[in-house]
Structure 1
Amino acid sequence: MSDIIQLLPDTVANQIAAGEVIQRPASVIKELVENAVDAGATMIQVFVTDAGKTCIQVVDNGSGMSNTDARLAFERHATSKIRKAEDLFGLTTMGFRGEALPSIAAVAQVELRTRMAGEDLGTLLRIEGGKVVEQSVASSPVGSNFSVRNLFFNIPARRKFLKSNTTEMSNILQAFERIALANPQIAFKLYKDGVLMLDLPVGNFRQRVCALFGKRMDSQIVPVNVETSLVNISGYIGMPESARKKGAQQFFFANDRYMRHPYFAKAVATAYDRLVAEGVQVPFFLKMDVDPTRIDVNIHPAKTEIKFEDEQAIWQILLAACREALGKFNAVPTIDFDTENRPDLPLFNGSTGVGVPTIDTDPAYNPFLPSDGPKGSTSSGPGNTGEMPSYAAPSRGAAGSDWDTIYRNALDTPADSADSQDGQVPNLYDNLPEDDKKGWEDTSADYFQYRGRFIVTAVQSGLMFIDQHRAHIRVLYDRYLSQVSSRKATSHGLLFPVDVTLSPAQKVLFETMKDTLTSVGFEFRADDGGKALLCGIPAGAEGLDPENLLRSIIEEAADGNETATNAVAERISLSLARRAAIPEGQHLTHDEMAGLMQQLFAGTQPKLTPDGKPVLVILPDDRIERYFD
């Protein structure tokens, strides 16, 4: 039997290795920008075309490279960061493996222009699919200029699996935000299809946070600062009122490297016990300075997971630091004793008596009987005689009996004798399939509310319990979704336009959702600054905060990661319905319950919410009877 194991060609091996480092355009930007940070750049510019699929360009004013270094940088495991294995346990740079540039060059067309300070000319290097096409002397400013075109041009299968431009751009912004946030001492610019999208000047950490996530964040965060022999923790955590159900900005940095660490995130969440509702998220931006020899960053291909030698001790330090910050800056609501601009209450002395006001009434007055004279005022003022108007009314003794007679007659009148507009009560189940109608026919003309949550009515097979909140979600969802298709939504205009501050990633998503949002009733207007102003919200959402409503819809869409128009429309309709639906515990009148039931059963799917939760449950007669056996 012949040998079957063979060495792979370098080109194939490089493409396999590239798959671990370069998954999408955002991976390219992460690696190139981190290299620029390591090169000591003070200004980094990123240009993105077609969400990185066509071209990615990263320009920095760092140290640059010599002609030899420029060529050697694209060889696998060639690096200036480490020399021996022990260096892996004392890393102070972003890169160290020597895999990023060869991985990028293996799956794209790369052009590099670079020059070191003190040299008259720089170097031009072109590589396609891992093969050097050109290397020559060229003019170039100090620093490096990487241009990466046609990512995955030689691996069609990988290119086919790239997501939509919206999703890929969101990933790019996420990677860009992490590096820019960790390095406020560096100025950053991000261009999308030739348009400046982000301009971040040099500043401190708090200024960088506000530049990325909006000025309103400045009033929602409190500083954290603690120094110990194990770790120095600095940064900011959100006030309890900044908590949200999802989508909160949460960032950990270890030695200025972004990391994901659920264990430490739990410590921050624990600090908010009894301050926020369970299950919500609070924003935080925390930096940890740790001895590099006590952490290991070489345990994940993307270097986003870090192993700490003193993990449990740091957890306790982090928890104490967050609790101290919340207490020091009065994050817990306090009683307001400020008396300024409060109305003065009159002061009565002990001799002044305060009695209950009295009202003079005439029990003989009957508004349904004709009067013998003109109506007049009962008060005696200028121009008044002070006398009560004269009515042809019975005596006081007879008045009570007349009202008793009217009341008894009203009680004796059968409710069924009242005329309706169309002469019949609409059947709520007419639109149901025949199989679903069985056992659902209404045998009671009444509904009643149970525990402020359920609407209960009798049906042929037993008692039906309807969750009023979920039922309203179902009704509103169907309504909003139909408005998207018909584009005939009703909008409630706002008295004053609301400027909704969004993060860069949210802005990209908002632009793709704008038409769908408009179709369900949102109204927007662009001002001279290019900001989106919210001028109207969908009818039925008047009781909700406009800014929080729009922001939550965008955040849910980002979590869902849908890109197709119908999927975005469904998610927006569901998110809007959830927030506009009547809450649990709200009292409903009989007419409101009947109207809700009529709308629910007029739909195509009254039994389930759009996300598959049950709307109604029937308690069968036989089960009720068993309780009495």
Structure 2
Amino acid sequence: MQNIIHLLPDSIANQIAAGEVVQRPASVVKELLENAVDAGATSVQLVVREAGRTLIQVIDDGKGMTETDARMSFERHATSKIRTSDDLFKIRTMGFRGEALASIAAVAQVEMRTRKADDEVGTLIRIEGSDIKAQESVSCLPGTNILVKNLFFNVPARRNFLKSNSVEMRHIIDEFQRVALANSEVTFSLFHNDQEVFNLPGGKLSRRIVDMFGKAYREQLAACDEETPYVSVHGFIGKPESARKTRNEQFFFVNNRFIKHNYLHHAVVGAYEGTIPEGHHPFYVLFIDIDPSHIDINIHPTKTEIKFDDERSVYAIVMAAVRKAMGIYNLSPSLDFESDVNFLDGGGAAIAKQFEPGGKHSATAKNGGGSSVPRPITPSWAQPAPADRAPAAKPAPPARPQQPSPQNWQAMFDGAARPATARSRPEKPVGDDVNWLDDRPVPMPDAPVDVPADATPVAANIPVAEPATSAEPPVTMGSRANRMGQSGTVEAMPGEAETAVIQVQNRFLVTTVKSGLLLIDQRGAYERILYDQFHTALTKHGGSSQQVLFPKTVTVSAVDYQVALDLRTELESVGFQFDELGANTFVIRGIPAQIADESGRRAGEEELFANLLAQLRADTGKLKLDRSEALARSLARRSASRYVKFLSPSERRALVDQLFASANPSYTPGGEAITSVVSLDKLSGLFKA
């Protein structure tokens, strides 16, 4: 019987190993940079072409290798960093996986020149698909110069699965930043297609952060340092006001190795609790030093996930270190112990003394003769009507307003029928102003609020379709809303009278429908409308642009810079106009007309553009969307937040009309609900015991 089990050739075995080690060009960059750092290099240069498809070159001034070591480095399971099994639990070096160079050489054309400082000549080795083509002595500088050309040249299927150049370049920059942050004393540089992307001189960690992410971080960093017998934490955190909505600039390093650890991230976010808005994420670069025997780094092929033998202790120490840094630099809110919080307490003698002449809160009023008469500051609910107000000779402590008795419960609703005073809202038809729950100042009775003829409403920035010229009466907001049933479908009830739309806290819209109350998320409605318009502009390449009066300069990260260049055609299709200024900087000359401010001013173009690129990078990474879809979603989400503001009655009606004219008025592009109907039965149940 013939045997069927046999050993694989080395070339095929190396290709199988390469499937785990070399997933994309960024994987090659990571291995080569870590090997350069482990070799004791003080200067490392990375040269990339076509996002690593055609060339990845790493030049270092490290120790170099002898001819024998250079040849052995391409053998499987060859390493200089592990001798016994115990060494696996004491690893402090980076690129210790012996199959790295062998796997890279199996799927690329590799050329390496290396020389030790004591040797007169160096060694040149050429390998293609695990086959050694040449090995000879050459003259070269001390250190190692390795070139990886035509990655996946012999595995076309793997090459076809690579993403676009911008996506692959973003992954390369991510790996470059992680190695550069972990080794701030080493000089790093990065060139892509003969253009310099990074030039980072060696120095302190704070300087490395500023050089890498921009000068804006110079005033946002707070040092974090905590020493314990079990673990030590050091690094920098960002101030709460610098928190962003995307998780792009957050780094954890354990023994100088970058890791991803959601449990420790929760510890940092927990330390920021109450200081940053919900949905925002702080910036941090934190290094954790711990005995290697307390961690296990061999649970993931890329070594980005590790386990601690006591995660709870590490969690508590990290949180304490961040809170300590925030306290030292006064980044967390503090209590004001000087203020008197017992203003309405029964003992008003001490408070009244503050309102006496010369007191802390005394106020004066000029009388007819020009003399100064003390005037007490009285709470708004205790002030009499203007006609009955008279100067008080001696201030009295404020009294608690008298509450109506249970027998006289009608007094609780007297405000609805009481005549308008200086402190009450003027009586107006319900349809004119029903935004009772917002915080706008109340107009005086003799100063009615009129919308100026030349005022541009918020909803005017989003064009409304022209009414149909037919015998059928036009479809108004009232008819659209009243045709929404419990299921969210539209019922045919043309010609119905217009219904009022109430705005609640500048955030929600409420109106009546046939089956109950219709609730509309204002931000979600704008997101749906803007998404439809941006998607149409990207499809037809007909987006309108509004020129900026004074061009704005914005500096973004190197990753976002690559995103903008790759999506330039799409960004210009929706209305952005910008020019490259070099060094990750753009000059913005125009923005989409749909996201203009209601007064016609263009405010915050730099922040809008930078946040859009960050949001676009996050959306592209989480969802498998095409470029146009991702851009339309990101731009709509970023722009919709600008419209969470007060709307006039006409703007509310226009918004509802535009929403129900869209393709899907019930959900945002991301799947969040926009509308909700509260049935009459549910409303009745709220008032039943």
Cα deviations across residues 6-43 of structure 1 (Å, max 9, x unaligned)?
33222222111111111110000100111110111111
2:107–2:154: 8 Å Cα contact kept in structure 1? yes
Aligned residue number for residue 92 of structure 2: 92
Q: How far does residue 454 in structure 1 lie from its aligned partner after superposition?
A: 4.2
Q: Residue 302 of structure 1 aligns to a residue in which SS?
A: coil
Distance, in Å, in 2 between the alignment partners of 1:139 and 1:58 is 18
Give the RMSD, CA atoms, in angstroms.
3.4
Distance, in Å, in 2 between the alignment partners of 1:623 and 1:96 is 65
Give the TM-score normalised by the residue count of structure 1.
0.80
Distance, in Å, in 2 between the alignment partners of 1:219 and 1:262 is 27
Q: How far does residue 352 in structure 1 lie from its aligned partner after superposition?
A: 2.1
Q: 1:545 aligns with which of 604, 611, 630?
A: 604
Distance, in Å, in 1 between the alignment partners of 2:87 and 2:93 is 11
Q: Residue 500 of structure 1 aligns to a residue in which SS?
A: strand
Tell me the amino acid that sits aligned with residue 651 of structure 2.
E
> Residues 535 and 151 (structure 1 numbering): CA distance in 2 closer, same or farther, change over 3 Å?
same
Aligned residue number for residue 76 of structure 1: 76
Matched, 1:524 2:578: yes
Aligned residue number for residue 27 of structure 2: 27
1:111–1:124: 8 Å Cα contact kept in structure 2? yes
Q: 2:561 aligns with which of 468, 486, 507?
A: 507
Matched, 1:61 2:61: yes
Q: How far does residue 621 in structure 1 lie from its aligned partner after superposition?
A: 6.7
1:247–1:281: 8 Å Cα contact kept in structure 2? yes
Q: Residue 288 of structure 2 aligns to a residue in which SS?
A: strand
> Residues 10 and 446 (structure 1 numbering): CA distance in 2 closer, same or farther, change over 3 Å?
same
Aligned residue number for residue 265 of structure 2: 265
Aligned residue number for residue 249 of structure 2: 249
Give the TM-score normalised by the residue count of structure 2.
0.74
Distance, in Å, in 2 between the alignment partners of 1:90 and 1:628 is 68
Distance, in Å, in 2 between the alignment partners of 1:628 and 1:528 is 65
> Residues 294 and 615 (structure 1 numbering): CA distance in 2 closer, same or farther, change over 3 Å?
closer
> Residues 454 and 62 (structure 1 numbering): CA distance in 2 closer, same or farther, change over 3 Å?
closer
Aligned residue number for residue 352 of structure 1: 372
**More deviation, 457-466/135-144:** 457-466
Distance, in Å, in 2 between the alignment partners of 1:40 and 1:628 is 75
Q: How far does residue 534 in structure 1 lie from its aligned partner after superposition?
A: 2.6
Distance, in Å, in 2 between the alignment partners of 1:320 and 1:454 is 39
Aligned residue number for residue 664 of structure 2: 605
Q: 2:475 aligns with which of 411, 427, 430?
A: 427
Distance, in Å, in 2 between the alignment partners of 1:488 and 1:121 is 62
Matched, 1:616 2:659: no
> Residues 109 and 519 (structure 1 numbering): CA distance in 2 closer, same or farther, change over 3 Å?
same
> Residues 621 and 440 (structure 1 numbering): CA distance in 2 closer, same or farther, change over 3 Å?
farther
Q: Residue 184 of structure 2 aligns to a residue in which SS?
A: coil
Cα deviations across residues 251-303 of structure 1 (Å, max 9, x unaligned)?
11122111112222122111112222334211110112222333332332111
Q: 2:526 aligns with which of 446, 459, 472?
A: 472
Distance, in Å, in 2 between the alignment partners of 1:628 and 1:227 is 59
Cα deviations across residues 461-495 of structure 1 (Å, max 9, x unaligned)?
65544333322222222223333344454444445
Matched, 1:444 2:506: no
1:110–1:126: 8 Å Cα contact kept in structure 2? yes
Instruction: After TM superposition, list the pairs within 5 Å mapping 1:526-605 onto structure 2.
Output: 526-527=580-581, 531-539=585-593, 540-542=595-597, 545-561=604-620, 564-580=626-642, 582-583=643-644, 586-605=645-664
Distance, in Å, in 2 between the alignment partners of 1:295 and 1:625 is 59
Q: Residue 265 of structure 1 aligns to a residue in which SS?
A: helix
Tell me the amino acid that sits aligned with residue 110 of structure 2.
V
Distance, in Å, in 2 between the alignment partners of 1:627 and 1:310 is 50
**More deviation, 480-489/283-292:** 480-489
Q: How far does residue 525 in structure 1 lie from its aligned partner after superposition?
A: 3.7
Distance, in Å, in 2 between the alignment partners of 1:196 and 1:620 is 62
Query: Percent identical across equivalent pairs?
Result: 42
Distance, in Å, in 2 between the alignment partners of 1:506 and 1:614 is 30
Cα deviations across residues 38-95 of structure 1 (Å, max 9, x unaligned)?
1111111111111111111111111111111110100111111121112222222112
Aligned residue number for residue 51 of structure 1: 51
The structure that has the greater radius of gyration is 1
In structure 1, runs of 5+ residues without a counterpart are: 337-344, 356-409, 412-420
1:224–1:237: 8 Å Cα contact kept in structure 2? yes
2:473–2:495: 8 Å Cα contact kept in structure 1? no
**More deviation, 465-474/490-499:** 490-499
2:556–2:585: 8 Å Cα contact kept in structure 1? no
> Residues 90 and 436 (structure 1 numbering): CA distance in 2 closer, same or farther, change over 3 Å?
closer
In structure 2, runs of 5+ residues without a counterpart are: 337-361, 376-427, 430-466
Distance, in Å, in 2 between the alignment partners of 1:448 and 1:560 is 34
Tell me the amino acid that sits aligned with residue 103 of structure 2.
S
Q: How far does residue 111 in structure 1 lie from its aligned partner after superposition?
A: 0.6
> Residues 264 and 138 (structure 1 numbering): CA distance in 2 closer, same or farther, change over 3 Å?
same
Q: How far does residue 574 in structure 1 lie from its aligned partner after superposition?
A: 2.4
Q: How far does residue 202 in structure 1 lie from its aligned partner after superposition?
A: 1.1
Aligned residue number for residue 9 of structure 2: 9
Distance, in Å, in 2 between the alignment partners of 1:190 and 1:145 is 15
Q: How far does residue 620 in structure 1 lie from its aligned partner after superposition?
A: 5.9
> Residues 354 and 608 (structure 1 numbering): CA distance in 2 closer, same or farther, change over 3 Å?
same
Matched, 1:213 2:213: yes
> Residues 289 and 459 (structure 1 numbering): CA distance in 2 closer, same or farther, change over 3 Å?
closer
> Residues 446 and 458 (structure 1 numbering): CA distance in 2 closer, same or farther, change over 3 Å?
same
Cα deviations across residues 123-159 of structure 1 (Å, max 9, x unaligned)?
1101111111111111111111111111112222211
Matched, 1:129 2:129: yes
Aligned residue number for residue 407 of structure 2: none
Instruction: After TM superposition, list the pairs within 5 Å mapping 1:167-178 onto structure 2.
Output: 167-178=167-178
1:127–1:133: 8 Å Cα contact kept in structure 2? yes
Q: Residue 331 of structure 1 aligns to a residue in which SS?
A: coil
Tell me the amino acid that sits aligned with residue 447 of structure 1.
A
Tell me the amino acid that sits aligned with residue 129 of structure 2.
G
Distance, in Å, in 2 between the alignment partners of 1:462 and 1:352 is 59
Distance, in Å, in 1 between the alignment partners of 2:261 and 2:680 is 54
Q: How far does residue 549 in structure 1 lie from its aligned partner after superposition?
A: 1.8
> Residues 248 and 12 (structure 1 numbering): CA distance in 2 closer, same or farther, change over 3 Å?
closer
Tell me the amino acid that sits aligned with residue 605 of structure 1.
N
> Residues 2 and 220 (structure 1 numbering): CA distance in 2 closer, same or farther, change over 3 Å?
same
Cα deviations across residues 161-206 of structure 1 (Å, max 9, x unaligned)?
1111111111000001000111111111111011111111111100
> Residues 86 and 461 (structure 1 numbering): CA distance in 2 closer, same or farther, change over 3 Å?
closer
Instruction: After TM superposition, list the pairs within 5 Å mapping 1:271-420 onto structure 2.
Output: 271-333=271-333, 351-353=371-373
